[in-house]
Amino acid sequence: MATTQQKDLLVMKFLHYFITEKNYNPVVVHGIQNEIWLENMDSEFRIVRIVLGYIHNNDQFEFDNFKVRKLTRQIKMKTFTFKMKVLTLYLDLNDDVEISNNKINYPVRVKSEKSIAKNELIKKYFPDMINKLKFTEEGALLYQKINNDILRKNLDSSEKINDLFSPKKPIVTYILLGIITITMVLMYFIGKASIDSVDITTLYLFGGLVKNGSIIRLVTSIFLHIGLIHYIMNAWALNILGKQVERFYGHVKTLIIFLYSGIVGNLLSVILMNDNTISAGASGAIFGLMGALLYFALNQRTYMGEALKNEILPVIIINLLIGLIVPSINMYAHVGGFIGGIIISTFLGIKYKTSRFEKINGFIVSIILLVALTYLAYFM
**Of 299, 290, 284, 277, whose CA–CA distance to 346 is shortest?**
299
Per the CB < 8 A criterion, the answer to whether 35 and 75 are in contact is no
Q: Which pLDDT score, from 0 to 100, does residue 196 have?
A: 65
Q: Which pLDDT score, from 0 to 100, does residue 308 have?
A: 77
Digit-coded pLDDT (tens) for 136-173: 888 889 889 999 999 999 899 889 888 888 888 999 99
Active site residue 279: no
Burial class (CB in 10 A: 0-12, 13-18, 19+), 19: buried
Q: Which one of 283, 328, 345, 355 is the catalytic residue?
A: 283
- The strand pair at 47-51 and 35-39 is best described as antiparallel
For 195, list phi and psi in degrees, rounded to 5. -60, -45
CB atoms within 10 A of CB 165: 13
For 372, list phi and psi in degrees, rounded to 5. -65, -45
Q: Which pLDDT score, from 0 to 100, does residue 252 have?
A: 96
The CATH code belonging to domain 167-378 is 1.20.1540.10
Active site residue 16: no
Residues of the chain with pLDDT under 50: 1
Q: Which one of 221, 230, 334, 366 is the catalytic residue?
A: 334
Q: Which pLDDT score, from 0 to 100, does residue 90 have?
A: 93
Q: Which pLDDT score, from 0 to 100, does residue 327 have?
A: 67
The identity of residue 130, as a single letter, is I
**Of 175, 176, 159, 132, whose CA–CA distance to 12 is shortest?**
132
DSSP E strands: which ranges in the chain? 25-27, 35-39, 47-51, 86-90, 105-109, 209-210, 278-279
Each domain of the chain, given as residue ranges in start order, spans: 4-164, 167-378
